[in-house]
Amino acid sequence: MEQLRNYHRMHDWLVEYLSKHRTVTVDMPFTSYTYIADPVNVEHVLKTNFTNYPKGDVYRSYMDVLLGDGIFNADGELWRKQRKTASFEFASKNLRDFSAIVFREYSLKLSGILSQASKANKVVDMQELYMRMTLDSICKVGFGVEIGTLSPDLPENSFAQAFDAANIIVTLRFIDPLWRLKRFFHVGSEALLEQSIKLVDEFTYSVIRRRKAEIVEAPGPAARKHDILSRFIELGEAGEDSGGLGDDKSLRDVVLNFVIAGRDTTATTLSWFTYMAMSHPDVAEKLRRELCAFEAERAREEGVALFASLLSYDSLGKLVYLHACVTETLRLYPAVPQDPKGILEDDVLPDGTKVRAGGMVTYVPYSMGRMEYNWGPDAASFRPERWINDDGAFRNASPFKFTAFQAGPRICLGKDSAYLQMKMALAILCRFYRFQLLEGHPVQYRMMTSSPWRTASRSGSPGSSDSDLFVADSSTLDDVIFGI
């Protein structure tokens, strides 16, 4: 019951325990959760004894209604086939170049909205804008669909609202022993979940049908699109091994898994980054100097569009301090604060902790980033410089210590894509805007499968001088679960 009482502050509650014990076991009515923060234990679970720690039946039973047989929810041969296909597509230069164009396009749309808000001295919700930007982006990159939620009038989107509702409710299942009864009697949160999934499915299946029709109407290499859904459809229709993803239900699972991966986690990090920039003006100023120097090196006149034209996959890779700032944000505020695994057989972790078959082991990136035994006495401090060597190059850390993108065989396939989108957006925003938190607005997270926080802001117009952006409300909707 202590876990349930502390659900609203779950991540910080675990920090308190894991800072003392490194490994914590919590007994539940029908299972037990073992939480780990020691990189040695994490490596054992994610790599050394990988096959003993699948997603598991418990996890899949909670998440099946939303994620189905998608890559986040799959194990065994189905996961391996999907992983192989997705790995090949993510390595494609065509997809990378297409992604860079899309991310630049929507970053500029966001800048345009902020410009108008700044001229009107208007407060805007930055988290909502980030969520709209990442939703539009992933739908364009993943499925070739223009959603339009980042239009200047910021229209309501029933898919996004239903997806968020479903996201929150399936997360509650992890600590609500009565959820199956609620589902059986069709009451409470489970009744709302059913309604939300219906809306989500209506949108998703319409996307699939439209894309299939477009492929039939315009066959051939010249008409080929580079979005992920089109590739899975083409592979399936060609009889190639696409991980068993030929029918509409399987493609639906692909769509929703990539939405949750490409939208929520990225928006979460952008939101926390904005808060970190406001809380650490010295970091924001140092980053602005890097961006101005980057622009000056190319002798281009100032202006958002011209500056954005300089940003590509390769050129963004040269912005070391920006990369360090994003990475430091992920260390302290990982988009996946907890990631549970099932236990197939009894095992003993390297620190001597015994775990039982049928239970769950959860590694906790949020806690790991705050542990002095992992990062030293300044572990709780936001210090991007820790990621930069004396020669100015970026310093990598073990993926079993910096676990924001998981590690081992299920390490995140979209890591490079996520960095590309975040750095594209932040390079533009941090070059032309300053952010300021509105007085009195709390900053806190909210528990759900994966999503950011609510923010509002007021801004000045971009151009040769920087704009001020006043950010209000921030109730961060942090992720609890998943990993490819």
Annotated binding-site ranges = 412
Q: CB 49: neighbour CB atoms within 10 A? A: 16
Rounded (5°) CA angle 279-281-286: 135
Q: Buried (b) or exposed (e) across 326-365, using 16+ Cβ within 10 A?
A: bbbbbbbbbbbbbbbbbbbeebebbeebebeebbbbbbbb
**Cβ(326)–Cβ(269) below 8 Å:** yes
Q: Fill in the amino acid letter for 302.
A: E
Gap between the Cα atoms of 44 and 58, Å rounded: 21
Report in angstroms the alpha-carbon separations of 308 from 94, 424, 425, 481.
20, 8, 9, 34
Alpha helical stretches, state H, 44-186: 56-67, 76-90, 93-119, 126-143, 158-172, 179-185
Gap between the Cα atoms of 75 and 311, Å rounded: 38
Q: Fill in the amino acid letter for 269.
A: T
* Residue 155, Ramachandran bin (φ over 0: left; ψ between -120 and 50: alpha; else beta): beta
Decide: helix, strand or coil at residue 311.
coil
Binding residues for heme: 412
Beta strands 123-124 and 456-459 are: antiparallel
Please state the φ and ψ torsions of residue 298, each to the nearest 5 degrees: -100, 5
**Cβ(311)–Cβ(343) below 8 Å:** no
Gap between the Cα atoms of 126 and 438, Å rounded: 12
The first and second tokens of residue 58, run together, are 């418990």
Gap between the Cα atoms of 242 and 236, Å rounded: 6
Q: Taking the CA atoms of 325, 327, 328 and 329 in sequence, report the sign of the dihedral they define.
A: positive
Report in angstroms the alpha-carbon separations of 231 from 100, 144, 219, 225.
18, 11, 13, 8
Gap between the Cα atoms of 341 and 351, Å rounded: 18
- What are the residues facing 67 on neighbouring strands? none
Q: What is the largest CA-CA distance in the chain?
A: 67
